[in-house]
Amino acid sequence: MRNYLSLCVLVLSIQYNIISAQKPLKPRLKDKNSFKIAFGSCSHQDKNQNILYKVIEQKPDLFIYLGDNIYGDTRNMGLLKAKYNTLGNKPEFKALRNTTRILATWDDHDYGENDAGRHYPFKEISKKIFLDFWEEPKKSKRRKHEGIYTSYMFGKGNKKVQIILLDTRTFRDNLIPNQGNKGYKNHYIPHTSNDSSILGKDQWHWLKTQLKKPAQIRIIASSIQFGHEYNGYESWTNFPHERERMLNLIKDSKAEGVLFISGDVHWAEISKVILDGLYPIFDVTSSGLNQKWYKTENNKNRIGGKLRANNFGLIEVNWNEETTISLKVLNKKGKIRLSHNVLLKKLRF
């Protein structure tokens, strides 16, 4: 029995070494009638990440890291870089990196400090470490402007998918601590002043130009939740005027096919925002890849259930006469635990 188990382990090892030896695959959107985007967040570099093998089994065209991709939490940049290297050396991460196109943004823990914003003093050095690890080209525009926001376009004709990666750290003003205020809970209370910002002037201007580009589907990746109900943790609900600005920007620009994906909270859920004059805005939260939280919070915008177990998200676009977008959350065994289907025509004005 022991020899049999050893043989099984050897076979599995050989299989994943073969996967790791392959060259990265490019998205095949233009040649396919479907497009798969997997995503996740909150992966501690010192913990098991075998869930990534389940991601690979789904054969996604892209995997988007939404932040807290490592737990740096330091002002020692040598230590921050070493923690990235720990992630980079994990066989399960290598297997993902060598089979799937990876895109990434950051959240607070890989930015460098818990709940940190624009006042984090090492953000420029941290940015370079981040971009180097994720193999950003040396001539990339992302290296030339402040922050790490960027976008990508996949496909052509009437099958274009735009991916917009936001930076919710570099420009974000301080949060307001909850010091026992009645009617509020957990760590933070919402800003009441419109002077505070998440994205900052330059990123807002850039985003406005991005939403004018022609695309059938636009996936906006935010490291923090966008579509849920206020719960006292860090999210867009702490800056209600910024959240309103985002919804109004989508409405005013007539940008169709917008979906949000988000992470951070160590549980998964699908939220739906309804606003007059705007089609439904969905936010698929996937968190964490190997991190958990001891509870979840109420969310009046939630559709379906919630999941505290380790998970990753999956959006599958099926191009046809009535294009369907499947929103899913899968657990560490690769089983679908949350799902919701949306017709693309319902994400229109």
Is the separation of the CB atoms in 54 and 289 below 8 Å? no
pLDDT at site 32: 79
Task: Determine the 3-state secondary structure of 86 from DSSP.
Answer: helix
Query: Do the beta carbons of residue 98 and residue 23 sit within 8 Å?
Result: yes
What does pTM read for this prediction? 0.92
Maximal CA-CA distance, the chain: 67
Kindly list the domain boundaries of the chain, sorted by start residue: 39-347
Pull the structure tokens for residue 35.
Answer: 């497009």
Angle between helices 200-210 and 240-253 (to 10 degrees): 30
CA-closest candidate to residue 314, choices 324, 325, 328, 304: 328
Fold of the domain built from segment(s) 39-347: Purple Acid Phosphatase; chain A, domain 2 (3.60.21)
205 three-class SS: helix
Length in residues, the chain: 349
Are 147 and 167 in contact, with CB atoms under 8 Å apart? yes
Q: What is the dihedral of CA 122, 124, 128, 131, to 10 degrees?
A: 110
Could you tell me the two tokens for 226? 């966008």
Separation of first and last alpha carbons in the chain: 62
3-state helix, strand, coil in the chain (%, to 5): 30, 25, 45
pLDDT in tens, the chain (349 residues): 444 444 443 444 444 443 333 344 445 444 579 999 999 999 999 999 999 999 999 999 999 999 999 999 999 999 999 999 999 999 999 999 999 999 999 999 999 999 999 999 999 999 999 999 999 999 999 999 999 999 999 999 999 999 999 999 999 999 999 999 988 999 999 999 899 999 999 999 999 999 999 999 999 999 999 999 999 999 999 999 999 999 999 999 999 999 999 999 999 999 999 999 999 999 999 999 999 999 999 999 999 999 999 999 999 999 999 999 999 999 999 999 999 999 999 999 9
Strand runs labelled E in the chain: 34-40, 62-65, 101-104, 150-154, 161-165, 176-177, 188-189, 217-222, 258-262, 268-275, 278-285, 302-307, 311-318, 324-331, 336-343
Which residues make Cβ contacts (< 8 Å) with residue 266, sequence separation at least 6?
A: 42, 287, 288, 291, 292, 293, 308
